[in-house]
């Protein structure tokens, strides 16, 4: 799987570490930058090209980062065909997560749901709110999850992409 990577200055160091981790896990990575640390950089300059690579199919997934990850997710979601989810950190569901009444105790289940139900193809991570161990776990959980091709999910995702 080829993964598009991008960040701003706030996630620069973590993204370098994440790239090393992903390559060691057997993933191919295309790094959209930045190439060096610059406190004055503008995240759209790096996020838009990464999101476009995912939307076009050049990359099968994208992982982006920023201080909060919020602006980066907003930027990615402006690219037609990019469906970006944002992860701030582990959280446990307070109520049922599916129609069968299942309540998950897994603090990373929200990542699986973003893939299954929303077919998220870009993951935005909060560099200031996650440890590197949490980042690795989040990325692994998210990449291992698959799309649920039930009609209701594909219908809804289709409306996002039109």
Q: What is the CATH number of the domain that holds 85?
A: 3.40.1400.10
Residue 9 annotated as catalytic: no
Q: What is the 3-state secondary structure (H, E, C) of the chain?
A: CEEEEECCHHHHHHHHHHHHHHHHCCCEEEECCCCCCCCCCCCHHHHHHHHHHHHHCCCCEEEEEECCCHHHHHHHCCCCCCCEEEECCCCCCCCCCCCCCCCCCCCCHHHHHHHHCCCCCEEEEECCCCCHHHHHHHHHHHHHCCCCCCHHHHHHHHHHCC
Number of domains in the chain: 1
Catalytic residue among 13, 28, 60, 117: 117
Whole-number percent of the chain with pLDDT over 70 = 91
pTM: 0.91
Catalytic residue among 72, 109, 119, 134: 72
Give the pLDDT confidence score for residue 91 in this predicted structure. 76
Give the pLDDT confidence score for residue 99 in this predicted structure. 58
pLDDT of 79 over the 80 cut: yes
pLDDT digits (tens, 9 = 90+) for 110-149: 899 899 888 999 999 999 999 999 999 999 999 999 876 7
Residue 72 annotated as catalytic: yes
Q: Which domain holds residue 110?
A: 2-160
């Amino acid at each position: 799987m080829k993964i598009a990577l991008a960040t701003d200055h706030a996630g620069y160091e973590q993204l370098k570490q994440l790239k090393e981790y992903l390559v060691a896990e057997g993933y191919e990575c295309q790094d959209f930058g930045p190439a060096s640390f610059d406190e004055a950089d503008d995240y759209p300059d790096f996020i838009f090209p990464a999101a476009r690579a995912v939307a076009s199919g050049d990359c099968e997934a994208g992982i982006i980062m920023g201080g909060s990850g919020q602006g980066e997710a907003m930027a990615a979601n402006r690219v037609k065909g990019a469906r970006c989810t944002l992860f701030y950190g582990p959280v446990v569901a307070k109520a049922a997560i599916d129609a069968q009444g299942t309540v998950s105790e897994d603090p990373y289940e929200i990542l699986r749901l973003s893939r299954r139900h929303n077919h998220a193809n870009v993951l935005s991570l909060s560099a200031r709110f996650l440890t590197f161990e949490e980042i690795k776990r989040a990325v692994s959980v998210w990449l291992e999850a698959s799309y649920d091709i039930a009609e209701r999910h594909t219908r809804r995702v289709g409306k996002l992409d039109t």
